[in-house]
Amino acid sequence: MSWVKDFREFANDTSAHGVKYIFEGRYKLVKLLFLVTWLGFSIYACHVIITSIVRFVEKPTSTKYEVIQDDSEGRPERIEFPTISVCSMNKVKKSYLEAPENEAIREYYEVVDKYNVSLVKDLAKRFKNSDDPLHSIKDMTYEELIRNGGPNPNRLLKCTQRAQYCNQLPAFLGREVSVMENSMTGNCWRVNPEGRLMGKMGDYGAMKLMFWADVQDYSARTADVENQGFVVAFHDNSTFGSTMTAGFLMSPGTYYKADLRRKQEIRNKDKIESCNASLTENTYGAYNEGSCALECKDEALHKACGCTNVVPPLNKGKYKSCTLEQWVDCGLAVYKEWYHNFTDTDRADQLCPCQIQCEEVRYEAQISSSSISPAFAEKLFPSVQAVISEPAYGYSNPDYNILYNTTQDILDNVMVLEVLFTSMRTNEIKEIISYGLSNLLGDIGGVLGLFLGASLFTILEVFQFVFFSISKYCFDKGGPKHDALNGDKMSI
């Protein structure tokens, strides 16, 4: 058998150890043992190599944790303050709904805000009747109702840092300390909207905010709920409070201290399952799972009704707000159906296939609180009494039985939020490929060397032997012997 003879010569000359003993030796049992052992090791080596290649293709990842600090250009240590979204629990205030000129709006809102589709059918019919008071507001948008009826911007009483008012800080010179952000849950303060404010660790760079809750101006729809006050979220300035899936509930009459840590998550762009690098921004600012869900909601409403309840912050003419008539005719029913499907864990991925962003900045907060002391209220009251008790300033309104003229009103309405950092450093969590090309070559080389005594040159020898064997026995072509690599030429 000529091929067996050639293989015997290959086994004797190859750089792989142990193969030649299959043919050498005095005892057949020993040669058989070497053959079985060599075949077993070869099969196991093939299994390891194939497994390693599959693992390399799948690009497994691991997490790398780092603490980073930016002190470039010789600047002193500092860290970027988050944008702080503060949303009042009182979506539409009592004084707006009970105004004589807004009687139709009050009647409409008290029905619509119950989010009961069957209750709004009567409203839809009344909008068609030109003699009905509701007909006069049919072209008013839902967004206008929320914006006009929401809390007054001046309920942000004070913003200070390092005993300076925020509007006197260099970061806010010629810029707004706070802007109002309209969302489906109401009007929200967006403090430090451009993320320009910097600070230091601890009390040295703490920012203090004081809000007035206006609890006497809570509408009937809001006053009967379990909680009153504000919902607060800390986030990067490229995102908006409406995209935050959760926030901290803060009640009036309480002093809150928020200890923040800045955290950055970077996912591997080379692995499709990890994130989608092309998703960077949408109509709700920086892309994240929250903004994707709201964009999905807007697309569902726009497709079915040609409008959405509240246009997104970066709308750029893409959507328009539903009129009050459109909302009862179409919008509310579509929103209820979308909400039902989105909160169903079996349907959510099909309804809104939101992918994960590759880079994300988060502010983790630890909240502590204590009640505002009566002594503080006593001290504060004389300086604000004229403002909160005089109707001309817009706090008290005797027409709607809203009167603020005691220290108890301070305790019932003032909420103080102190924001500071526990560290100047950013915690970075980075997703890296844990099994790369070097790992693959190391595993293949290890198993070949340990079990077969082979190397990359051995693989070249095998390819050469197979090539010339096929040439000789399949195509009847002569050529040099398998060991041409070592310079020994011989006809086959």
Task: Give pLDDT tens digits along the chain (492 positions).
Answer: 576 777 777 777 777 777 777 777 677 887 788 788 888 888 898 898 899 888 888 777 766 656 665 554 544 467 889 999 999 989 999 999 999 999 999 999 999 988 888 888 889 889 999 999 999 999 999 999 999 999 999 999 999 998 899 999 999 999 999 999 988 778 899 999 999 998 888 788 899 999 999 999 998 877 667 778 899 999 988 888 777 667 899 999 999 999 998 888 877 766 656 577 788 888 988 888 888 889 999 999 999 999 999 999 998 889 999 999 999 999 999 999 999 888 888 776 778 888 888 888 888 899 999 999 999 999 999 989 999 999 999 999 999 999 999 999 999 999 999 999 887 777 777 777 778 888 888 888 888 888 777 777 777 777 787 777 787 777 776 554 544 444 454 444
Which residue, among 386, 380, 378, has the nearest Cα to 404 in the 3D structure?
386
Burial per residue of 198-232, b for 16 or more beta-carbon CB atoms within 10 angstroms, e otherwise: bbbbeeebbbbbbbbbbbbbbbebbeeeeebbbbb
Q: Is 382 exposed, middle or buried (0-12, 13-18, 19+ CB in 10 A)?
A: exposed
Alpha-carbon torsion angle 86, 91, 92, 93, nearest 10: -60
Three-state secondary-structure class, residue 453: coil
Q: Is 324 exposed, middle or buried (0-12, 13-18, 19+ CB in 10 A)?
A: buried
pLDDT digits (tens, 9 = 90+) for 269-306: 666 565 777 888 889 888 888 888 899 999 999 999 99
- pLDDT at res. 280: 84
Q: Which residue has the tokens 């040609």?
A: 306
Which residue, among 155, 157, 194, 189, has the nearest Cα to 173 in the 3D structure?
194
Give the phi and the psi of residue 199 in degrees, each rounded to 5. Answer: -155, 175
- pLDDT at res. 220: 83
Q: Which residue has the tokens 């169903």?
A: 344
Q: Is 114 exposed, middle or buried (0-12, 13-18, 19+ CB in 10 A)?
A: exposed
Sequence letter at residue 250: M
Q: How far apart are CA 476 and CA 118, in angstroms?
A: 87
Sequence letter at residue 298: D
- pLDDT at res. 454: 78
- pLDDT at res. 348: 65
Do 234 and 362 touch, CB atoms closer than 8 A?
Answer: no
Which residue, among 36, 46, 30, 24, has the nearest Cα to 462 in the 3D structure?
46
List strand residue ranges (DSSP E) for 46-131, in order.
61-68, 79-80, 83-88
C-beta atoms surrounding 433 within 10 Å: 16
Q: How far apart are CA 492 and CA 475, in angstroms?
A: 13
- pLDDT at res. 492: 40
- pLDDT at res. 74: 46
Q: How far apart are CA 286 and CA 307, in angstroms?
A: 22
- pLDDT at res. 63: 67
- pLDDT at res. 487: 46
List strand residue ranges (DSSP E) for 334-445, in order.
359-371, 414-433
Q: How far is CA 263 from CA 65, 193, 232, 361, 402, in A?
A: 11, 19, 18, 6, 43
Provide the 8-state DSSP code for 272.
Answer: T
- pLDDT at res. 66: 61
Which residue, among 256, 143, 152, 161, has the nearest Cα to 213 in the 3D structure?
152
Q: CA torsion sign, 195 to 198 to 200 to 204?
A: negative
Categorise residue 235: left if φ over 0, alpha if ψ from -120 to 50, beta otherwise: beta
Which residue, among 353, 313, 323, has the nearest Cα to 138 in the 3D structure?
323
CA 249 to chain centre: 20
Here the tokens at position 391 are 């109707």
- pLDDT at res. 1: 54
